[in-house]
Structure 1
Amino acid sequence: MKNLTVEGRLKNSVKRICTKFKTTNCKNIGNIVKELEGKIPAMAQSIKHRMAKINAKTQNKLFENNPRTFYRNLIREDIKIQDSPCKQELDNYWSALFEKEEVHNEEVQWIGDIFNANKNKREMPEPEITPDKIRSKLARASNHKKPGINNISNFWLKQLTALHDHYSRCFTRMLKAYEATPSWLLKGDTSLIVKSTETKNPQQISPNMLPNHDLQAIHWINS
């Protein structure tokens, strides 16, 4: 009974192949298989060319929008961290750069020259973020990009259209300094990026600051 079942399944498979390739002669199945085997390399080559075009298009777009990331991806090394500096070493090195206030000479001539060269230019119009701007930018935003501390992804911001007017008023009032920017909006996530194989050297580990999602949105929508 088992052999009959296997034989029946085989016959059904042969019938399906004959029906698909419009043949009534089962002897032609061998030729059909050979024909398909010949098409596989051509299909693989076609997929390879298609992927190359997609990759080139992606790289061109990245080069246009963010050349720094484009070049970084070209020279990216697979760096394995064998040894790393302690937190205190990193704090000492980077705090000396970011927390030390520098005093610059504001009386140099070139500053006055630039001021005089641009004094007749009209002032920049006051910034305003309208609901239409928000909707237009959100339409081109990635749906599930990492959200900010409000944990609201772009997908839901697109759907919650009732919030767009409120976002517009709040963002515009902050840009025009009608109200103080809340402290939570200025908080972000900082990660450490290793720049070379010298993983023990604090100079080769740079902090990468990811601003709050809403603060990024203000800059992005107003650009």
Structure 2
Amino acid sequence: MVSGTGPAPNQADTVAFWRGLWSEPINHSEGPWTEVVASQCASITPMDPVIITPDDVAEAVRRAPNWKSPGLDGLHHYWLKGFVPDITQKLTERVDDLKQRIAAWGKRIRRYTERSTRFNQNRLFQSDQKRLYESLERPMVSGTGPAPNQADTVAFWRGLWSEPVNHSEGPWTEVVASQCADITPMDPVIITPDDVAEAVRRAPNWKSPGLDGLHHYWLKGFMVCHSVLARQFQEALNQKSLPSLFTTGITHLVPKDQGTTDPSKYRPSHVYRPYTRH
């Protein structure tokens, strides 16, 4: 029994010794006996190709010691025995895991939807109770049916918006004018860049923009525009007229009920430029 507790050999000598045995080329002298062996083996039938299957690997690993010294990879036979691929089991586990994730995400989405609905209803209750009650009583309209004819829609809304209207002013207007004659006029309104910044600060960042495609987010960031907007609003107040770009926007028609082919069954929803909404 050798304990191996003595001094170790020099590393350079050890490397040189084993390199001389393993790395140096060897010139084998092939004698006449090699020809004899070759002639005897000429009539031997070649062995069939060897097909190694996963079962062969599993059987070989099963007989191997669990904790025999590993190679450079540090992998023992114990782990090779445990990680035998079972594709059916792995697929089943993967499918179950995905189902659990989908169910969890579904619950999170439902909770978020319910919370968002409650939040919007509470906010709408504080600002417009009538609209809230209408939304609760009126069934949700999908608007997935056939759309109305474009020419009929244009003609209908042009008749409401574009045709001139002659208002009949009765004697009551003179009474109201006489009653308002003693009212002290309001002090002139001076719009400053700070007023514009405060109005924009409370606005949602990504609310639908108008024809210019400009969101509130950019108005908040580009503060150099606040002085220009303040000047434009001040000029509109002083001249008592608004430029057409202030009153031109996008109109979305929202169906009121299932009669989606009738232009009169739609409710207009207007989207103006962000700086004209506040």
Query: How does the TM-score come out when normalised to structure 1?
Result: 0.64
- After superposition, give the CA deviation of every residue in 1:137-161 in whole Å (9 maximum; x if it has no partner): 2222212222334433222222222
1:58 aligns with 2:117: no
| Higher alpha-carbon Rg | 2
User: Shift of the alpha carbon at 1:206?
Assistant: 3.4
Distance change (3 Å), C-alpha of 1:190 and 1:168: same
In proportion to residue count, which structure has more helix? 1
2:153 aligned to 84, 90, 93, which one?
90
Counterpart for residue 125 of structure 1: 187
Counterpart for residue 165 of structure 2: 102
User: Shift of the alpha carbon at 1:191?
Assistant: 1.4
Counterpart for residue 111 of structure 1: 173
Q: 2:201 & 2:275 partners in 1: Cα distance? A: 16
Q: 1:86 & 1:112 partners in 2: Cα distance? A: 45
Is 2:210–2:271's contact at 8 Å kept on the other side of the alignment? no
1:151 aligned to 204, 213, 229, which one?
213
- After superposition, give the CA deviation of every residue in 1:108-146 in whole Å (9 maximum; x if it has no partner): 222222222222111133333211212222222212222
Is 1:149–1:213's contact at 8 Å kept on the other side of the alignment? no
* Structure 1 residue ranges without an equivalent (≥5): 7-43
Counterpart for residue 267 of structure 2: 206
Q: 1:132 & 1:78 partners in 2: Cα distance? A: 42
Is 1:194–1:206's contact at 8 Å kept on the other side of the alignment? yes
Distance change (3 Å), C-alpha of 1:76 and 1:116: farther
Q: 1:191 & 1:54 partners in 2: Cα distance? A: 24
How many residues were matched structurally?
A: 175
Write the letter of the residue equivalent to 2:176: I
* Bigger relative contact order (CA 8 A; separation at least 6): 1
Q: 1:150 & 1:84 partners in 2: Cα distance? A: 27
State the secondary structure of the residue aligned to 1:209: strand
- After superposition, give the CA deviation of every residue in 1:27-64 in whole Å (9 maximum; x if it has no partner): xxxxxxxxxxxxxxxxx9xx97x997875453232233
Give runs of ≥4 in structure 1 deviating > 6 Å.
50-54
Counterpart for residue 101 of structure 2: none
Q: CA RMSD in A?
A: 3.2
Percent identity over the alignment is 23
1:166 aligned to 215, 225, 228, which one?
228
Q: 2:231 & 2:143 partners in 1: Cα distance? A: 47
Q: 1:148 & 1:199 partners in 2: Cα distance? A: 25
State the secondary structure of the residue aligned to 2:270: strand
